[in-house]
Amino acid sequence: MLFQSCRELASQVAQLLVVRASGHLLDSEREFPLWEISNSELRSYLEIGVGGVILLGGHILELEVRCKSLQDYSSGKILLCADIEEGLGQRFKGGTSLIPPMGLGEIYKKDPKKALIFAKEYGICVGRQARLCGLNWVLAPVCDINTNPANPVINLRAWGEEPFTVSALATAFHKGLVSQGVLSCAKHFPGHGDADIDSHLELPIINHPIKRIRDLELIPFRTLIKEGVSSVMAGHLLFPKLDSQNPATFSKNILINLLRKELGFEGIVVTDALMMGAITKYCGEGEAAVLAFEAGADVLMMPRSPEVAIQSICDALLSGRVPNSRLEEALQRRNQALEKINFSSKKNKSFFFENPSLENDNENYLKNKLVFETLKSSCQKKIEKVVNGINFISIDDLPKSQILTKNAPALSIPSSSGFRSLICHPYAVSPWKDDKLNPLDIDRLGEVPIFLQIFSRGNPFVGANFQEERWNQAIQQLQRQQLLVGLAFYGSQYLFSDLTKLLDPSIPFSYSPGQMPDAQERALAMLFESRHMNNEIKDFNLTDFTD
Amino acid sequence: MLFQSCRELASQVAQLLVVRASGHLLDSEREFPLWEISNSELRSYLEIGVGGVILLGGHILELEVRCKSLQDYSSGKILLCADIEEGLGQRFKGGTSLIPPMGLGEIYKKDPKKALIFAKEYGICVGRQARLCGLNWVLAPVCDINTNPANPVINLRAWGEEPFTVSALATAFHKGLVSQGVLSCAKHFPGHGDADIDSHLELPIINHPIKRIRDLELIPFRTLIKEGVSSVMAGHLLFPKLDSQNPATFSKNILINLLRKELGFEGIVVTDALMMGAITKYCGEGEAAVLAFEAGADVLMMPRSPEVAIQSICDALLSGRVPNSRLEEALQRRNQALEKINFSSKKNKSFFFENPSLENDNENYLKNKLVFETLKSSCQKKIEKVVNGINFISIDDLPKSQILTKNAPALSIPSSSGFRSLICHPYAVSPWKDDKLNPLDIDRLGEVPIFLQIFSRGNPFVGANFQEERWNQAIQQLQRQQLLVGLAFYGSQYLFSDLTKLLDPSIPFSYSPGQMPDAQERALAMLFESRHMNNEIKDFNLTDFTD
């Protein structure tokens, strides 16, 4: 009998967990097998009551099959979520890839009305595609204000650099998102924008006084809470003026006194991933789950071991360390959120079997229009054909199919003008030599015309991979040696604007905040001759987007 | 009325065409957009009567959706084919990847009975997975005999190096394949195994006397024809002793006198792709279609322009250059083949929506067993952990997700022993210097322990990318400098056996004919310590495979 009631308790606690799974069908295809639970484990977790799954990777067709299978494994309704901040294509192949939110922040500076319309369409695109694939909870919008250009993890993910832009755009995005019947999430509370280290690796400390936090960091969260955002994600962030001991994830003062009482939030409080370095370096995994739950978190994201998290929370409840009311309110908030999801059309048929394309015309237009609106380019004279040039491409990681396939414009367009591609990534032979003023080893590359393409943005986990100092010197070196014929930069506006300060005005360049093939194509069409653009953008008309 | 009858004729001729399409859902994801018809064109071709599509690339879930859509666009039954010679995974992500046929040829040398059982299971695996995804025509088995180790295009795709092995294994494969209700294809008639150039690029000339061709090249074809193979593919091959003017594709003597009359073949004669260099360099596209059709080909594979092919054949029929009986017999053979396909279960439901995994236990066992059986390894002492070693990987192409993801064993296993990965591919900074005896630029790499992994096999289009002479020297250089700690080779047994002749017996090595992650994992488990093997192979028992 005791055993029975323990099992019931464990099953209730399990509902509060979100476990991580690959969006790929097969275990062997998992991209992060250390973190992504195998299919058989996933099934048994869901059968004992685990209440949510966060998905990453794979094709949209796999995602649809996954969401259906995962829901089938559970006897109750489950939360199916993903970090979709920049279009479904950011996480799942075949979905639409949009430029990052910061691009809309830039449009907002010039034309707020236009930017707000775009942001709402952006939310509709994310919400619609997520729902059609079977997800019901989108972990967006990011409500952080990127006040620190050197922020290694938020950066382009933010909607802007000051609170009112972020509030306005995140709200517009949110309206679009929730119109599609999925849950939303404001993150990372109380604000990750001024961090200077990556919380995936270490715990950032943000030492602002309370007044500044109220007047800046909290503004977008306050607005989103008024908009009825479904959930707020607590960041792994230490704000000593709010709580000198605990990161927000574990802080009653931040989650209860600030978020619930002062801001009046009544939805789900969810933690950021409990397996992130900021947490695991400082406390054991069972204790992390209990501390977050005790402090007021209703849903626990990605505990390293779901069993340990469940057991530790059960122990804390049974021992009286945490009152039962905590469990009751968390379950109630989860149930209230689930009620808002439209589960009505019981998914027995594949969407894709009847509709081979996910992206609709509106979304395709939005995608290309946003690339067009955020492109920066200067080109007095198109880059001429050469006999033996180098298309020198720098990327942060192994060439990925979403960015660089054989057929990517970043390879094919310069190639048709005589530039052979040379891709430099962390796993390739280095192009650098030990000479600060002339860091590029030109002997190795050959003294030939060089077209330079750099893909770089603040990426989680990667840290400060982009060596600014070296690139600044390299660009000056190439100019001195009269080898640089052009530059395309995809990603961080901050890194780009530093580089352009060094560029000779005669050197043609293009910049896009997006890195996807559509962005490459448009950026390069500005620089190279005689290339047919696949995606002509008609004149923009605000009535193109109708509610 | 004349116009009407012309349209009817065009629609009949169109049935004989197989056009090429990407397996990806979206036009923007096509890997070879110059060759792969866009979705809207595809639809209009099928609507005017084009009778077949050959698919390549994409995920198995996309393939299923594609096959259904393509069939829906057509008013008649269409042929849906793919070059699946080594498991569905060779062409479509998520399908099973098997070691190449030559691996079974090697097993046959030691244990023919076992090899024949494997070959039949191999055929079952290919046929079952192809059918479940919606394909109905598998362009296999290869019946070429790889008598020339330097063959740049057949090589590991052949079942062996002499006629009786190839006959026996191709026949066993064929029995398995057709048991799954799909059509088959013996290729490349009259035999591509002794070519020394790639017919994708140029027309190979094979100068053997007729007696040798009868006694060698034709043996597997003769056997497969007796087995009832559904189709025979004519190769772009000039056999001057059979026809001094025309490649097999255009040769009445080869297609009619030899294949039909002498060998008694009554099924479909299909051309190899008409857009291949061997053809397009020597004749116009319309003329190529007419010449093949006139010579006796019933189905025309991948004409560069379907419109031009249809128009040219219509003109040839209307002008009397080709008799109408040619059209009648070709259509009749196509219809007879279609009748053999099991279309009964009208596909209105997605297989994957009910069955998230395509590979069954038998297929998983076969895949791992074949890797295990064909692995060659020598390791007196496992490779020790190092502090700063290089895992030097050479591949023929950009890193592909089927072979090298971040999570591929070829990267992760050496990495856990202290070897950082350095991937050399044609788009990376070169590791070579201009020194014949010491071609590897060790200054560039660092004088550290090097574990070498080479992925190389004869690949169509790539030509002789693998620079044997240089690698031979590089291995000797690394041994002289005492930097080489081990070697793993994936692919061509010929290239590998040349390299091992130079290897010091103390250097550990592994060889697999397969390049997929399962092959990497097993090859490296032989060389590195303390790695848990995911895929333990139980003792093999012939009764494991039941009919």
DSSP string for A276-329:
SHHHHTTS-HHHHHHHHHHHT-SBEE--S-HHHHHHHHHHHHHTTSS-HHHHHH
Q: What percent of chain A has pLDDT over 70?
A: 93
CA distance B541 to chain A (A): 25
What would the two tokens of residue A172 be? 């517009």
Query: What is the distance between the alpha carbons of residues A257 and A251, in angstroms, rounded to a whole number?
Result: 9
Q: What percent of chain B has pLDDT over 90?
A: 76
Instruction: Say what the ipTM of the complex is.
Output: 0.88
Query: Do β-strands B419-424 and B389-394 pair in parallel, antiparallel, or remain unpaired?
Result: parallel
State the number of CA atoms in the 13 A half-sphere of B427 facing the CB. 24
Tell me the chain B residues in contact with residue A531 when contact means C-beta distances shorter than 8 Å.
Answer: none
Tell me how long chain A is.
Answer: 547
B34 touching chain A per CB within 8 A: no
CA distance A185 to chain B (A): 29
Query: What is the distance between the alpha carbons of residues B92 and B59, in angstroms, rounded to a whole number?
Result: 5
**CA angle at A277 for the pair A272 and A283, rounded to the nearest 5°:** 90
Q: Which of A210-224, B98-112, B210-224, B275-289 has the lowest mean pLDDT?
A: B275-289
**Per-residue model confidence (pLDDT) at position A537:** 52
Its sign, for the CA torsion B91, B97, B103, B107, is negative
Query: What is the distance between the alpha carbons of residues B404 and A532, in angstroms, rounded to a whole number?
Result: 33
Check: CB of residue A80 under 8 Å from CB of residue A491. no
B433 touching chain A per CB within 8 A: no
Mean of pLDDT values over A468-497: 93
Query: What is the distance between the alpha carbons of residues B369 and B518, in angstroms, rounded to a whole number?
Result: 10
If you count residue pairs, one on A and one on B, with CB atoms under 8 Å apart, how many are there? 127
Span B297-356, pLDDT tens digits? 999 999 999 999 999 999 999 999 999 999 999 999 999 999 999 775 656 788 888 887
Give the helix/strand (H/E) hosting B423: strand B419-424
**Per-residue model confidence (pLDDT) at position A530:** 62
Q: Give the residue among B492, B542, B491 at the shortest CA–CA distance from B519.
A: B491
Query: What is the distance between the alpha carbons of residues B144 and B189, in angstroms, rounded to a whole number?
Result: 8
- Tell which B residues from 49 to 68 touch A, by Cβ distance under 8 Å: 59, 61-62, 64-66, 68
Contact flag B356-A28 (C-beta cutoff 8 Å): no
Question: Where on the phi/psi map is residue B415: left (φ > 0), alpha (ψ -120 to 50), or beta?
Answer: alpha
Mean of pLDDT values over B137-161: 93
**Per-residue model confidence (pLDDT) at position B150:** 83
Span A185-231, pLDDT tens digits? 999 999 999 988 877 778 899 999 999 999 999 999 999 999 999 99
What would the two tokens of residue B520 be? 């990497």
Q: Where are the alpha helices (DSSP H) in A207-269?
A: 210-215, 218-226, 252
Span A123-162, pLDDT tens digits? 999 999 999 999 999 999 999 999 998 888 889 999 999 9
**pLDDT tier for residue A406 given thresholds of 50, 70 and 90:** confident
Higher pLDDT, B40 or A282: B40
Q: Give the residue among A407, A409, A412, A416 at the shortest CA–CA distance from A384.
A: A416
CA distance A435 to chain B (A): 14
Q: Which residues contact B467 (CB under 8 A, 6 or more apart)?
A: none
- Domains (ranges, CATH) in chain A? 375-525 (3.40.50.10870)
A72 touching chain B per CB within 8 A: no
Asked if residue B143 has pLDDT above 60, the reply is yes
**Per-residue model confidence (pLDDT) at position B201:** 79
Mean of pLDDT values over A413-435: 92
Tell me the chain A residues in contact with residue B360 when contact means C-beta distances shorter than 8 Å.
Answer: none
Instruction: Lay out the sheet containing A484-491: strands in order across.
Output: A376-378, A509-512, A484-491, A450-456, A389-394, A419-424
Check: CB of residue B429 under 8 Å from CB of residue A422. yes
Query: What is the distance between the alpha carbons of residues B313 and B295, in angstroms, rounded to a whole number?
Result: 12
Please identify which of the residues A83, A194, A272, A298 carries the catalytic annotation: A272
> Mean pLDDT of all residues in chain B?
91
Span B398-411, pLDDT tens digits? 877 678 888 899 99
> Mean pLDDT of all residues in chain A?
91
Span B497-518, pLDDT tens digits? 989 999 999 999 999 999 999 9
User: B82 has which bridge partners?
Assistant: B138
Tell me the chain B residues in contact with residue A94 when contact means C-beta distances shorter than 8 Å.
Answer: 25-26, 29, 62
Check: CB of residue B330 under 8 Å from CB of residue B16. yes
Asked if residue A4 has pLDDT above 70, the reply is no
Contact flag B407-A32 (C-beta cutoff 8 Å): yes
**pLDDT tier for residue B529 given thresholds of 50, 70 and 90:** confident
CA distance A507 to chain B (A): 24
Q: Which residues contact A219 (CB under 8 A, 6 or more apart)?
A: A145, A163, A164, A166, A167
Q: Which residue of A has its CA nearest to B442?
A: A429
- Alpha-carbon separation of residue B313 from A103, B1, B3, B300, B334 (angstroms): 54, 20, 16, 11, 17
Tell me the chain A residues in contact with residue B371 when contact means C-beta distances shorter than 8 Å.
Answer: none
Check: CB of residue A175 under 8 Å from CB of residue A122. no
Span A409-420, pLDDT tens digits? 999 999 999 999
**Helices and strands counted in chain B (H then E):** 20, 14
Q: Give the residue among B114, B167, B108, B118 at the shortest CA–CA distance from B141.
A: B167
Span A54-63, pLDDT tens digits? 999 999 999 9
**Per-residue model confidence (pLDDT) at position B347:** 67
**Per-residue model confidence (pLDDT) at position B1:** 43
Span B237-276, pLDDT tens digits? 999 999 999 999 999 999 999 999 999 999 999 999 998 8
Asked if residue B543 has pLDDT above 60, the reply is no
**Helices and strands counted in chain A (H then E):** 20, 14
- From the list B61, B93, B401, which residue is nearest A65 (CB)? B61
Query: What is the distance between the alpha carbons of residues A253 and B58, in angstroms, rounded to a whole number?
Result: 50
Higher pLDDT, B34 or B414: B414
Query: What is the distance between the alpha carbons of residues A359 and A132, in angstroms, rounded to a whole number?
Result: 11
- How far is CA A377 from its chain centroid? 26
State the number of CA atoms in the 13 A half-sphere of A387 facing the CB. 1
**Per-residue model confidence (pLDDT) at position B403:** 85
**pLDDT tier for residue B39 given thresholds of 50, 70 and 90:** very high
- Alpha-carbon separation of residue A317 from A10, A13, A310, A324 (angstroms): 10, 10, 11, 6
Residues of B classed as catalytic: 200, 272
What is the residue type of A212?
R
What is the residue type of A481?
Q
Query: What is the distance between the alpha carbons of residues A259 and A234, in angstroms, rounded to a whole number?
Result: 10
What is the residue type of A430?
S
Query: What is the distance between the alpha carbons of residues B347 and B344, in angstroms, rounded to a whole number?
Result: 9
What would the two tokens of residue B123 be? 């055929």
Tell me the chain B residues in contact with residue A30 when contact means C-beta distances shorter than 8 Å.
Answer: 407
Q: Is A272 an annotated catalytic residue?
A: yes
**Per-residue model confidence (pLDDT) at position A344:** 59
Query: What is the distance between the alpha carbons of residues B100 and B516, in angstroms, rounded to a whole number?
Result: 11
Taking each helix axis from N to C end, the angle separating B163-178 and B112-133, rounded to the nearest 10 degrees, works out to: 40
What would the two tokens of residue A360 be? 């609709």
List, in sequence order, every beta strand (DSSP E) within B282-356. 300-301
Query: What is the distance between the alpha carbons of residues A290 and A300, in angstroms, rounded to a whole number?
Result: 10
Longest dimension (CA), chain B: 82
Q: How many CB atoms lie within 10 A of CB A380?
A: 8
Token pair 């501390």 in the structure block, residue: A291
Higher pLDDT, B142 or A5: B142
**Per-residue model confidence (pLDDT) at position B547:** 44
Q: Give the residue among B168, B270, B176, B274 at the shortest CA–CA distance from B222.
A: B168
Contact flag A430-B429 (C-beta cutoff 8 Å): yes
Span A258-270, pLDDT tens digits? 999 999 999 999 9
What does the DSSP assignment read for A97-110? P---HHHHHHHHHH
Query: What is the distance between the alpha carbons of residues A352 and B131, in angstroms, rounded to a whole number?
Result: 19
Tell me the chain A residues in contact with residue B411 when contact means C-beta distances shorter than 8 Å.
Answer: 427
A240 touching chain B per CB within 8 A: no
Mean of pLDDT values over B51-69: 95
A439 touching chain B per CB within 8 A: no
Contact flag A352-B29 (C-beta cutoff 8 Å): no
What is the residue type of A139?
L
Q: Give the residue among B17, B55, B125 at the shortest CA–CA distance from B365.
A: B125
Q: Which residue of A has its CA nearest to B440?
A: A429
Please identify which of the residues A24, A192, A200, A208 carries the catalytic annotation: A200
Query: What is the distance between the alpha carbons of residues A350 and B256, in angstroms, rounded to a whole number?
Result: 47
Span A308-332, pLDDT tens digits? 999 999 999 999 999 999 999 999 9
Asked if residue A460 has pLDDT above 60, the reply is no
Query: What is the distance between the alpha carbons of residues B116 and B169, in angstroms, rounded to a whole number?
Result: 6
Asked if residue B221 has pLDDT above 50, the reply is yes
Check: CB of residue B54 under 8 Å from CB of residue B19. yes
Provide the 3-class DSSP secondary structure of residue B372.
Answer: helix
Contact flag A25-B444 (C-beta cutoff 8 Å): no
Contact flag B61-A26 (C-beta cutoff 8 Å): no
Asked if residue B472 has pLDDT above 60, the reply is yes
Mean of pLDDT values over B136-160: 93
Asked if residue B80 has pLDDT above 50, the reply is yes
**pLDDT tier for residue B396 given thresholds of 50, 70 and 90:** confident
B423 touching chain A per CB within 8 A: yes
What is the residue type of A67?
C
A423 touching chain B per CB within 8 A: yes
What would the two tokens of residue A465 be? 């991979």
**pLDDT tier for residue A547 given thresholds of 50, 70 and 90:** very low
Tell me the chain A residues in contact with residue B59 when contact means C-beta distances shorter than 8 Å.
Answer: 59, 61-62
Question: Where on the phi/psi map is residue B461: left (φ > 0), alpha (ψ -120 to 50), or beta?
Answer: left
Asked if residue A534 has pLDDT above 60, the reply is no
Contact flag A94-B26 (C-beta cutoff 8 Å): yes
Query: Do β-strands A389-394 and A450-456 pair in parallel, antiparallel, or remain unpaired?
Result: parallel
User: B487 has which bridge partners?
Assistant: B452, B509
Tell me the chain A residues in contact with residue B401 when contact means C-beta distances shorter than 8 Å.
Answer: 401
